[in-house]
Amino acid sequence: MNHGSDQDTARIVPREQTQAILDARAVAVARFRPEAEYTIADRLEERSLRFAGRPFLLYAGLVLTYEEVNARANQVAHAAHGLGLKSGEVCALAMENRPDLFILWFGLAKLGVTVTLLNTQIRGRQLQHALAEAGARAVIAGEECLAGFAGLEGNLPLWLWPDPEKPATPEHRALAVLELAPLVAAAPRDNSPRAWRAGIRSESPAVLVFTSGTTGLPKAAIYSHMRWLLTGDAMEVGWRVTSDDVFYCFLPLYHGAAANAVGSTALHCGAAIFIRRRFSAREFWSDVRSHGITVCQYVGEICRYLLNQAPSPQDKQHSLRCISGTGMVAELWQRWVERFGSMDIVETWGATEANCSLMNLDNRIGSCGRVPFWEKTNLRLVRYDSSNDCHPRDAEGRYVLCQPGEAGEVIGMIYEEAAATRFEGYTSKEATQKKILRNVFREGDAWWRSGDLLRCDEEGYCWFVDRIGDTFRWKSENVSTMEVAAALADFPALEFVTIYGVAVPGQEGRCGMAALVLRAGMDFDAAAFYALTEQRLPRYAAPQFLRLCAQADMTSTYKLRKVDLQAQGYDPARCGDPLYVRDEAGRSYLPLSAETLAQTGFAAFA
């Protein structure tokens, strides 16, 4: 790779140099065969012998070696087997970032049980839907997550796992039918019998990760054993990982980026993972220095938080050599390197369920990846007509490839014989079929559609543009306008709500904005509306801006009206309606002005 000192938008790395790394990644993932009986459990047991005494999981002063993680996972397998969990069944896991999440997950993998990683921010209808969508046979809930299960319908067994840091109330502890930890502590530490996972193959589902998709409630994306494992084999090449590396894991482990990429890569290479419950800008560099962290995942907003911290003479005194993620826009990128020094910045593009991906291996500022030679990838960019929500076709009825500089939708050819190009889809067959395009370039072909718009230049470098349709991306999360509107629709004073994404200067994607029409004679209670968003929505999905509209034109011109709202954004000169901006510190929404925009960290609308 090239390093930060070489980061120059005018410098072009030869195509062959980039392709050589991509070829090495391809060789690494080609070793996986769908029919093989090789699983996550097999790799863990291998690595527990090879790297026995090396640190694997680090957390708040705790150091667990590879041998110890494997032994504790064995105890989980024995205990869960005793409770009747069997190969092929699904167990849901709700837990914040801590080593026990990996240990429980690996233990269930030793039984051939598919693990569903639940978003710890959802509850109520969304949580009920997630459990049903996954077909969970039981739920293991960390004590810190028990409150979210209050009021759920059904009799799904809820097994409690303790959390000394965040003890639950007696009322919430009573939701669990048993405490799993004592059973695990009393179980054997030797490898569980391989017969317990007999019949589980590399192509069998290992993990279900929920993704919002393009519309509707979350969908459970399937990760097979081979896909989880090949992610690590590929990332070893892209991130140049060795057993001396230490990963920093603060992104939520229910998210595919952290659970799959970091977990799989560290396990493959014998590296260590330092786990933090959640991101802390104040503690970030202290963690990096004290634990010798070398590799870190990011989303663009996190980099912005770190850059907003007060400068320090120690800014360039750290062990970090590589950061990788999404949302590092050019402005952030340049400031980051100037302040924190030379390192590899591997901006990426992909999706939880994707059968193709991109990695910026050349430190090309702002690019999310490169295709040096299109014939060597299954990824294509095809023209998309946003006005009519369709893909234009040529005279023969086939899709049209984008030219350099032209934005188009990313699609990935589905090739079942290769592990990396399969589309494993969702637990919902209907949802899976909706993501497949057929007869794209020839009769009978099949392509996964991403819903993302990218553009590429003459050198094959790609740049993220936006999400298609009503779904928008904010803080590297896809937000469904339908879900947000449904969550807020019963606000007492509200007659109508429209949710849409608006551009924010200097930031990738779009943030949420709500156009509210109040009932006649009703006043707007900003604090109460904020409280409802906190109760119903994850922070990233809550509207950042509000517009109080006098009336709604939501008949045949609904779609046009939404486009107009997006274009007007939160610009007071164009809106003509009262505007508000979200104030996290004050737990309310403030009337929008230059002062309140600055106070809440937003730039004026461009």
> Which residue type occupies 545?
F
Query: What would the mean pLDDT of 273-282 be, rounded to a whole number?
Result: 94
Question: Any idea what DSSP says for residue 524?
Answer: P
Closest CA relative to residue 302, chosen from 271, 330, 280, 270 = 280
Computed on alpha carbons and rounded to an integer, the radius of gyration of the chain in Å comes to 24
pLDDT band at 387 (very low <50, low <70, confident <90, very high): low
Given a contact cutoff of 8 angstroms between Cβ atoms, the answer to whether 372 and 360 are in contact is no
What is the percentage of the chain residues whose pLDDT exceeds 90?
Answer: 72
Question: Any idea what DSSP says for residue 393?
Answer: B
Phi-psi region of 580 (alpha: psi -120 to 50; beta: other; left: phi over 0): beta
Closest CA relative to residue 565, chosen from 549, 581, 583 = 549
Which tokens go with 486? Answer: 């449904």
CB atoms within 10 A of CB 525: 15
Cross-strand partners of 516:
497, 548
Predicted local confidence at residue 44, as pLDDT: 98
pLDDT at 477 over 50: yes
CA pair distance 399, 377, nearest whole angstrom: 17
Query: What would the mean pLDDT of 456-462 be, rounded to a whole number?
Result: 96
pLDDT at 26 over 90: yes
Predicted local confidence at residue 47, as pLDDT: 98
pLDDT digits (tens, 9 = 90+) for 183-208: 999 999 999 999 999 999 999 999 99
pLDDT at 468 over 90: no
- Cite the residue boundaries of each domain of the chain with CATH code 3.40.50.980: 66-200
CA pair distance 604, 606, nearest whole angstrom: 6
Q: CB-based burial of residue 371 (10 Å sphere; 0-12 exposed, 13-18 middle, 19+ buried)?
A: buried
pLDDT band at 494 (very low <50, low <70, confident <90, very high): confident
Q: Average pLDDT over the chain, rounded to whole? A: 90
Pairing of strands 272-275, 55-59: parallel
Find the range with the poorest average confidence among 206-210, 343-347, 364-368, 560-564. 560-564
Given a contact cutoff of 8 angstroms between Cβ atoms, the answer to whether 89 and 137 are in contact is yes
Predicted local confidence at residue 566, as pLDDT: 85
pLDDT band at 212 (very low <50, low <70, confident <90, very high): low
CATH number for domain 66-200, candidates 3.40.50.980, 3.40.1190.20, 3.30.70.370, 2.102.10.10: 3.40.50.980
CA pair distance 453, 468, nearest whole angstrom: 7
Question: Any idea what DSSP says for residue 411?
Answer: E
- 3-state class (DSSP) for residue 265: helix
> Which residue type occupies 517?
V
Closest CA relative to residue 101, chosen from 89, 111, 92 = 92
Find the range with the poorest average confidence among 221-225, 485-489, 528-532, 574-578. 485-489
**Helix, strand, coil share of the chain (percent; to 5):** 35, 25, 40
CA pair distance 439, 413, nearest whole angstrom: 11
Distance, first Cα to last Cα, the chain: 36
CA pair distance 256, 262, nearest whole angstrom: 9
Given a contact cutoff of 8 angstroms between Cβ atoms, the answer to whether 499 and 543 are in contact is yes
Phi-psi region of 213 (alpha: psi -120 to 50; beta: other; left: phi over 0): left
E strands, 384-460, are 408-413, 436-438, 446-456
Closest CA relative to residue 226, chosen from 23, 56, 422 = 422
- Cite the residue boundaries of each domain of the chain with CATH code 3.30.300.30: 472-600
pLDDT band at 303 (very low <50, low <70, confident <90, very high): confident
**Domain 472-600, what fold?**
GMP Synthetase; Chain A, domain 3 (3.30.300)
Spatial neighbors of 401 by CB under 8 A, at least 6 apart, are 380, 381, 382, 383, 408
More confident residue, 444 or 154: 444
Q: How far is CA 446 from CA 211, 274, 376, in A?
A: 22, 40, 17
Q: What is the pTM of this model?
A: 0.80
Q: Answer positive or negative: Cα dihedral of 34, 40, 46, 50.
A: positive
CA pair distance 441, 579, nearest whole angstrom: 47
Given a contact cutoff of 8 angstroms between Cβ atoms, the answer to whether 421 and 355 are in contact is yes
CA–centroid distance for 512 within its chain:
18
pLDDT digits (tens, 9 = 90+) for 112-151: 999 999 999 888 888 999 999 999 999 999 999 999 999 8
CA pair distance 219, 223, nearest whole angstrom: 13
Given a contact cutoff of 8 angstroms between Cβ atoms, the answer to whether 447 and 436 are in contact is yes
CA–centroid distance for 305 within its chain:
19
Closest CA relative to residue 305, chosen from 329, 279, 323, 287 = 279
pLDDT at 556 over 70: no
Instruction: Supply angle C-alpha 114, 120, 121, rounded to 5.
Output: 140
